[in-house]
Structure 1
Amino acid sequence: QAANARELAKAGGARVIRQERFNAKELAKQIKALADNPQGLGRAAHAAWNCGRPRAVEDLADLVESFGGAEMMDVIRVGGNNARGASQGLPVGQGAVRESAE
């Protein structure tokens, strides 16, 4: 978290309060400083927006899928060893989860 906060602060989109200094008084001081400078707050909001990755989940899933060449749903294990698919030699897209009668 600290590394992410530092990067966002470096870009101008956040302020970092170290854990040992984080208390109600320090937080109120930081909030007041932001409220007293609406232009600065707007710049910070814009900088934070520019740091965002709206497609991060999709990008990560695409990256993981590219490692094995199989559809993600074919290799996800559900309930232990019940998953079927690429890891069991079935063609991509042919995986299924078996229901157990136990």
Structure 2
Amino acid sequence: MSRTVFCRKYKQELPGLDQPPYPGAKGQDIYQNVSAKAWQEWLAHQTMLINEKQLNLMETGTRVYLGEQMTKFLSGEDYDAAEGYVPPPQSK
């Protein structure tokens, strides 16, 4: 049986993650307050940011930047998009 959480991003009860995505308090907060749907969307967005902005994950500044963007994304705040990126049309 899947567990549900009140998703911080979507403001509704949705299926949650099976386990925290990170160790520690930040991972526990995501586990308790972010839906699996929002987390998967963040992972896709993060990959796009890394690729489009050619980010180097070995640099501390990059990891800080991605952490900030993750917090904004998962909280429903304004977050960075990749320059020149056009999202694919939504199928109806």
With normalisation by structure 1, the TM-score equals 0.21
Select the structure of larger CA radius of gyration: 1
